[in-house]
């Protein structure tokens, strides 16, 4: 686990991430967008791995690149249509307003991040005694135990809600 970022690798991953993110938005075919999403998520996982967040990288690959994308592709499959052409058309009406707002937000945040002196540097990285997984487990089952338990309730509530809405009114 080394903390120094390899600049070449970082720029490569960042470029892949940005390009695939653009491709998600600009692909006219929804299936291609979903597949580009895998690329985007994998490069984010690569970035996580570079800052020694190995558990986060694994979760990113398993949950996002694996499950979420498969879920999206399945949803496309069950909402049947004759052709996949032109299924992900850009909304022309709002494009100017949206790009101005997004650009403004980008420059403001970029300004803040570049000028900020409190971002994690080498001297305020929290040292872990063991690996990241056991460190996380200590926090989740110790200090943040209550939040962890509530998360379980949250999942149950979400599941009950989803089942009710998915069963719908038709079935007996």
Partner 1 sequence: MNLYVIYPEITVLVLALALIIIDLLLPSEETRRPLGYITILVLSILAISLFWQYHLTISAYFYQGLFYYDNYAIFFKQLFLLAVILTVLFSLQYIDTMKYSSEFYSMILFALTGMMILASANDFLTFFIGLELMTISFYALSGFGLTNKKSSEAAIKYLIIGSLSTAVTLYGISLIYGTAHSFDFAVVCKNPEFFSALGIAGMMMITAGIFFKMSIIPFHMWAPDTYEGAPVPVTGLLAMGSKAAAIAVFMRILFEAFFPAADYFMPVLAVFSAICMIGGNIAAMKQKNIKRMLAYSSIAQAGYMMVGICAASPQGLKGVLFYAFLYVLANTGAFAVVTVVALEKKGTDYEQFTALSQSAPVLAMVMSVSLLSMAGIPPTAGFAGKLYLFMAVVEHGYLWLAFVGFIMSMLSVYYYLKVVRVMYTGKSDGSTITISGAVRAAVLISMTATVVFGVWPQYLSMLTDFAAITFLR
Is 144 a binder of partner 1 (CB under 8 A)?
A: yes
**Contacting range for partner 1; rule: CB under 8 A; set: 2-10, 77-85, 93-101, 110-118:** 110-118
Among 116, 121, 123, 129, which residue interacts with partner 1 (rule: CB under 8 A)? 116
157 binds partner 1 (CB under 8 A): yes
Give me the sign of the Cα torsion angle 49, 51, 53, 59. negative
Kindly list the distances between the CA atom of residue 164 and the CA atoms of 71, 78, 160, 167, in Å, as whole numbers in the listed order: 19, 19, 6, 5
CB of 83 to partner 1, least distance (A): 25
Residue 10, token pair as written in the block: 């970082």
Binding residue (CB under 8 A) for partner 1 from 75, 100, 102, 151: 151
Q: Which token pair is 53?
A: 């967040």
Residues touching partner 1: how many (CB under 8 A)? 33
If binding is defined by CB under 8 A, does position 168 make contact with partner 1?
A: yes
Supply the Cα-derived Rg of the chain in whole angstroms.
21
User: Which residues have C-beta within 8 Å of that of residue 2, sequence separation ≥ 6?
Assistant: 52
- Per the document, the length of the chain is 172
CA distance 63 to 59: 6
Applying CB under 8 A, the span of 12-20, 21-29, 128-136, 158-166 interacting with partner 1 comes to 158-166
Binding site for partner 1 (CB under 8 A): 108-109, 111-113, 115-120, 124, 126, 143-147, 150-151, 153-154, 156-158, 160-162, 164-165, 167-169
């Amino acid at each position: 686990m080394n903390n120094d970022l390899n600049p070449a690798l970082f720029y490569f991953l960042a470029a892949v991430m940005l390009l695939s993110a653009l491709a998600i938005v600009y692909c006219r075919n929804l299936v291609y967008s979903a597949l580009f999403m895998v690329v985007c998520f994998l490069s984010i996982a690569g970035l996580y791995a570079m800052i020694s967040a190995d558990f986060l990288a694994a979760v990113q690959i398993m949950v996002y690149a694996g499950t979420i994308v498969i879920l999206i592709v399945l949803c496309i499959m069950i909402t049947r249509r004759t052709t996949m052409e032109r299924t992900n058309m850009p909304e022309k009406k709002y494009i100017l307003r949206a790009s101005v707002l997004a650009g403004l937000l980008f420059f403001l945040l970029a300004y803040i991040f570049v000028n900020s002196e409190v971002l994690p540097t080498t001297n305020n990285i929290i040292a872990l005694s063991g690996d990241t997984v056991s460190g996380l487990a200590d926090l989740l089952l110790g200090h943040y135990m209550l939040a962890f338990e509530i998360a379980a309730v949250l999942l149950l509530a979400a599941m009950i809600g989803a089942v009710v809405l998915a069963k719908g009114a038709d079935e007996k």
